[in-house]
Amino acid sequence: MKKVLLLLLSVSLFSCSNDEDSAQPAPSNEIAYFRASLNGEALNYSQTSYTASSTHEYGYSNGFSMNGFDRAFYYGCVMRPTTSIEFYPQIDLTFTGLITTADYSAETAGFYDAFALTALPTNFVTMAQENDGVKGVYVHYESTDGTRYSSLSGDQTGSTVAYTSSTSGTEGGLKTQTVTGTVSCKLYNESNPSDVIVLTNGQYKLNYIEFD
């Protein structure tokens, strides 16, 4: 199985276009946000502009896994601070296997339908399933010191992901989708699975873009 990463780019500062255990309500003017409790500590990332005044930004992380001649496309959106040189801590929610095709034009044609509310997956994939392009979702978190935690690395019994809206758009001639919803899951240290972060009360507004 070969995995190809297309891009991870900032769309805020560098763009030319366009209580402790509970998340706070989201202002209506937010471009993107991710709010949650991580082991009881609040994470509150919000982007309200594309200027240098924004303390957080979102970026795209797209690619595909090869399975024979077919490509299983994945679409990620990363939220991170702009005040850190390393952009840590950062968190992302990624959809895997939304579209599987050998034809790039079919990926473009099917992008909006793949992000329809009734089509978005509610299952968390394992590492093996993600490598095989199985349709699902996962969450990554990188701490201040760069330690990587992932829902891919352990049991997700009781974890949930849900969607409240999915809105189509365009950016630079490419199709985009803005998804809002909620998530709760367990994030395992990729180097030490006994080290677990419990993510609860997650609320997000995240943006996704087609591969090509």
Per-residue confidence band for 209, with pLDDT thresholds at 50, 70 and 90: very high
Stated length of the chain = 212
Q: For the whole model, what pTM was predicted?
A: 0.88
**pLDDT for the residue numbered 13:** 37
**pLDDT for the residue numbered 168:** 98
With a cut of 70, say whether residue 113 has pLDDT above it: yes
Burial of 95 (0-12, 13-18, 19+ CB in 10 A): buried
Look up the domain containing 90 and give its range. 2-18+27-209
pLDDT (tens digit per residue) in 131-144: 999 999 999 999 99
**pLDDT for the residue numbered 51:** 77
| Residue entry with tokens 């795209």 | 60
Structural domains in the chain (count): 1
Q: Judge whether 207 and 42 are in contact, CB under 8 Å.
A: no
Q: Judge whether 160 and 183 are in contact, CB under 8 Å.
A: yes
**pLDDT for the residue numbered 5:** 52
What average pLDDT does the segment 1-11 reach? 48
- pLDDT-above-70 percentage for the chain: 85
Nearest to 61 by CA among 45, 44, 78: 78
With a cut of 60, say whether residue 9 has pLDDT above it: no
What average pLDDT does the segment 196-205 reach? 98
Per-residue confidence band for 10, with pLDDT thresholds at 50, 70 and 90: very low
Lowest mean pLDDT among 12-21, 30-39, 92-101, 176-185: 12-21
- H helices of 71-185, in order, are 104-114, 127-131
What average pLDDT does the segment 25-38 reach? 83
Mean pLDDT of the chain: 88
N-term to C-term CA, the chain: 21
Nearest to 161 by CA among 183, 141, 131, 133: 183
pLDDT (tens digit per residue) in 54-106: 889 999 999 999 988 899 999 999 999 998 776 789 999 999 999 999 999 99
